[in-house]
């Protein structure tokens, strides 16, 4: 039995799943925490991976691939030494730099046509420009730029001369074109002030290297059998690969951030900046809308109310839709969509009658999902025709979430069994490189019931949320 491993190197932690290469059957898994913050020494990801794999987790594994948080900026000098801590996707200090890049070169339509997306604070190109403007000495030392998953993959192969990435994660940099399949080095130079070495973009099923001796020792792998390395991908692309989504499937992922993405056979270019025109991990495309705030809205509100998540769900479901006029704009950490990096959360429509624990809980769920319902509308505007909405991520397991979601969208809502879908997608890619041809069809990766709800749209709930959001612009 051949085994494969998939790594999810996310913002808060690393998860490693080992599965049977042929059937996808779960074998074992491990995890470890990452440091908190919006900038992190990337070597911490490597140390955490070693901790997650301790105790022989990878024994017998024949291939491995890494899916990682998108957009993070890892800068290296000519010797391959880290120049400064990596700026992560949720670091919003580069908001002004995104605006400057768009204004300096062609406007939103130019960027959407050039790289499929209009730069926001989250994008790597914006962070590169922030580096050049605020830390010119570090910018001058920067010889090579990688994404988080690129860096971990590079270390798996014992830091070879040539780093690799994949088209999915590359499409979130702001200097790689999904439509053309090539880097826009002119845009990188515009941001950094000089050119830099970038990872080679590998084919989706390509073997990009073999696990090196130092990496084997760090990960606790005994034996001499070779371990092949896949190109890896971004976290959203990994989840899409695990779920096997096709055209018409819209995934709403409710983790630290919230994302709504869809399978597509055609590249997209949205000059409004709402939809990022990403590539996926298979050779197709993955238009995506991202919000900065998702699951932590619910945990923060539950903490305010002094209840656990089970009781929080009960409170939310006991309130009427619309929470008696109470509306939460959940911009706790600023916001990416809409592009309001300096905004903060707010509670609208408070009266003496509606300020109850039940309505506050309901408003938190509706607020979290209201922005993602708007995201679904944005995907429709670029040609996506939703046939179903799949809810995944930590907050999807909250029973109030699926009930509220059904009131906000016009397509059936499904919650598949909870699981580590990003790591599972990386594992499926690892099985693909072993197979050498067709992508293995693993079927359902997790046991358990899929929860389904028919759509029951209540337009007044969407309108209430929209009115509160638009009040910010007055």
Regions of the chain short of the pLDDT cut 50: none
In 263-356, alpha helices (H): 295-305, 309-318
Residue 235 among the catalytic residues: yes
Nearest to 290 by CA among 379, 395, 418: 379
DSSP state of 265: S
d(CA 389, CA 274): 19
Which run of H or of E encompasses 138? helix 136-141
**Can you list the domains of the chain with their CATH numbers?**
3-235 (3.30.420.40), 244-411+444-474 (3.30.420.40)
d(CA 439, CA 100): 42
What is the pLDDT at residue 94? 96
The terminus-to-terminus CA distance of the chain in angstroms comes to 63
What is the pLDDT at residue 346? 95
What is the pLDDT at residue 471? 87
d(CA 217, CA 250): 41
295-305 and 309-318 helices, crossing angle to 10°: 90
What is the pLDDT at residue 447? 66
DSSP secondary structure letters along 155-213: HHTTS-SS-EEEHHHHTTSSSEETTTTEE-HHHHHHHHSS--B--EEE-TT---EE--H
What are the tens digits of pLDDT across the range 220-269? 998 789 999 999 999 999 999 999 998 999 999 998 889 899 999 999 99
Its pTM stands at 0.91
What is the pLDDT at residue 225? 92
d(CA 11, CA 260): 18
What is the pLDDT at residue 338? 82
What is the pLDDT at residue 414? 96
Catalytic residue among 150, 235, 333, 403: 235
Q: Are strands 249-254 and 74-76 parallel, antiparallel or unpaired?
A: unpaired
Residue 5 contacts residue 45 (beta carbons within 8 Å):
no
């Amino acid at each position: 039995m051949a085994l494969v491993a998939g790594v999810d190197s996310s913002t808060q932690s690393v998860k490693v799943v080992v599965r049977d290469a042929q059937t996808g059957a779960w074998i074992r898994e491990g995890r470890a925490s990452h440091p908190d913050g919006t900038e992190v020494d990337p070597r911490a990801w490597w140390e955490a991976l070693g901790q997650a794999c301790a105790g022989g987790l990878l024994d017998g594994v024949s291939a491995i691939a890494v899916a990682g948080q998108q957009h993070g900026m890892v800068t290296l000098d000519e010797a391959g030494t880290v120049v400064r801590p990596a700026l992560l996707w949720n670091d919003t200090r580069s908001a002004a730099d995104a605006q400057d890049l768009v204004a300096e070169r062609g406007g939103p339509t130019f960027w959407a046509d050039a790289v499929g997306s209009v730069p926001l604070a989250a994008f790597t190109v914006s962070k590169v420009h922030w580096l050049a403007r605020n830390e010119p000495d570090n910018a001058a030392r920067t010889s090579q730029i990688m994404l988080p998953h690129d860096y971990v993959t590079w270390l798996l192969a014992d830091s070879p001369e040539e780093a690799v990435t994949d088209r999915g994660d590359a499409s979130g940099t702001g200097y790689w074109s999904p439509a053309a399949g090539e880097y826009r080095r002119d845009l990188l130079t515009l941001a950094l002030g000089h050119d830099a070495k970038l990872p080679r973009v590998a084919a989706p099923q390509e073997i990009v290297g073999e696990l090196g001796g130092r990496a084997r020792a760090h990960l606790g792998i005994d034996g001499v059998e070779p371990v092949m390395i896949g190109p890896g991908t971004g976290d959203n692309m990994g989840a899409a690969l695990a779920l096997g989504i096709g055209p018409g499937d819209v995934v709403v992922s409710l983790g630290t951030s919230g994302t709504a993405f869809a399978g597509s056979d055609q590249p997209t270019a949205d000059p409004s900046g709402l939809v990022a025109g990403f590539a996926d991990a298979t050779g197709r495309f993955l238009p995506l809308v991202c919000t900065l705030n998702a699951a932590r809205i619910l945990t923060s509100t539950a903490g305010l109310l002094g209840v656990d998540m089970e009781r929080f769900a009960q409170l939310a479901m006991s309130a009427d839709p619309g929470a008696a006029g109470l509306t939460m704009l959940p911009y706790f950490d600023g916001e990416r969509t809409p592009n309001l990096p300096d905004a903060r959360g707010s509670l609208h429509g408070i009266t003496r009658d509606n300020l109850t624990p039940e309505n506050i809980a309901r408003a938190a769920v509706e607020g979290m999902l209201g922005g993602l319902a708007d995201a679904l509308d944005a995907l429709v505007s670029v040609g996506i025709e939703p046939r179903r909405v799949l809810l995944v991520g930590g907050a999807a397991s909250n029973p109030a979430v699926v009930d509220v979601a059904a009131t906000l969208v016009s397509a059936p809502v499904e919650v598949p069994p909870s699981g580590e879908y990003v790591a599972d997608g990386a594992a499926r890619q690892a099985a693909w490189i072993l197979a050498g041809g067709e992508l293995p069809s693993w079927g359902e990766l997790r046991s358990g019931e899929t929860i389904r709800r028919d759509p029951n749209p209540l337009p007044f709930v969407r309108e209430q949320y929209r009115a509160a959001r638009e009040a910010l612009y007055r």
